[in-house]
Homo-oligomer: A and B are copies of this chain.
Amino acid sequence: MLLTEPGGPGPRGYSLPLSPSGESAMVSPPPWHFSGDVIMVEYRTDPDAAAAFLPPGVDPGPDPGAAAAVFAHWHWRSETGQEAGDPARSQFSEFLILLGCTAEGRPMARCPYAWVDSAVPMARGWIQGMPKQFGAVHLTHPKAVGRTGPHLVEGGVFHGVASQYGSRIARASVTLSGRVAEPPALHAVPLVHTRHFPAWVPPEEPLSQLVVSAVDDVRFGEIWSGQASLDFAGDLQGDLAALRPVEVGGGFVFSYSETLRHGRALSGEAGRG
């Protein structure tokens, strides 16, 4: 299916747009370095609804219905650093849902929905199999001083909101009660994605591939936990609505960083298809 060779004649690039030097590519090639601030709320959803989002080869695992809502603000940089000088390019906010699952015989997480407020991270998501859509995502940034904050201290309150097409999707809050040693479970496991690129030339089929992201340089900063609220909008419809909380658990506010290098095929999947 590959019709142009890297290094061959013609325009080139890691992604569209291809151009003579390759520099016009919307997405710069991995690895990508991320530094983030995260507001995360653990919750439980209907186990049958969650299971219906898992592809063959991925199972609900020992704790069906375990889920989390994650709001994050990211600063990212590629190896070339070409985005580094422009905060409009190097930062974005994200809201995503995680479902607990088991694959390759160990705990993983599946992301059924994600929204970002910037188009390059959206496209980069599709490359990895993260189902990122474009939305409006806002979360409170910690402040060091002042009467309004919010501050990373006991009693500090952090909020996240997400919308798409001018309609609310979800909102969450966490009121800090103290520091903890361990990150929330669903933020400490690999993510298993379906890389899916739609069909266009009949009778070709879509590219569809179960992959696990290869991540290193993982670091957590201070991890705060506390009481949380999480609400999906009342007028949500369809498949997404089935993942609404039936019980809200603990909340977390923490710093996190990683380097995302590439994907690998889910073990036992390479020969299928």
Using CB atoms and an 8 Å cutoff, list the residues of chain A in contact with chain B: 1-4, 6, 8-11, 13-21, 23-24, 26-27, 29, 33-37, 52-56, 73, 75-77, 84-91, 112-114, 118-120, 122-123, 125-134, 136, 138-141, 143-150, 157, 159-163, 165-168, 171, 173, 194-198, 200-202, 205-211, 217, 219-222, 233-235, 238-240, 242, 255-259, 262-265, 269, 272-273
Contact = CB atoms under 8 A, between A and B. Distances in A.
Given A131-B17, A143-B257, A200 B206 contact: no
A38 to B, nearest CB: 11
Given A18-B131, A90-B148, A145-B219, 15 more contacts: A11-B194, A18-B196, A20-B53, A26-B133, A33-B146, A34-B146, A34-B148, A35-B149, A75-B150, A84-B148, A87-B160, A119-B133, A143-B257, A144-B221, A145-B220
A143 B255 contact: yes
Contacts of A144: 35, 37, 221-222, 255
B202 A91 contact: no
Q: Which 3 A-B pairs have the closest CB atoms?
A: A146-B257, A163-B166, A35-B146
B148 A119 contact: no
Contacts of A194: 4, 11, 16, 18
Contacts of A265: 201
B126 A269 contact: no
A52 B207 contact: no
A89 B125 CA distance: 21
A3 B265 CA distance: 10
The oligomer's copy count stands at: 4
A221 B167 CA distance: 33
A195 to B, nearest CB: 6
A195 B1 CA distance: 10
A6 B273 CA distance: 11
Contacts of A201: 195, 209, 211, 262-265
Nearest to A158: B87
Contacts of A263: 200-201
B10 A91 contact: no
| A23, A89, A126, A173 — most chain B CB neighbours (10 Å) | A126
Given A35-B146, A56-B4, A205-B6, A166 B88 contact: yes
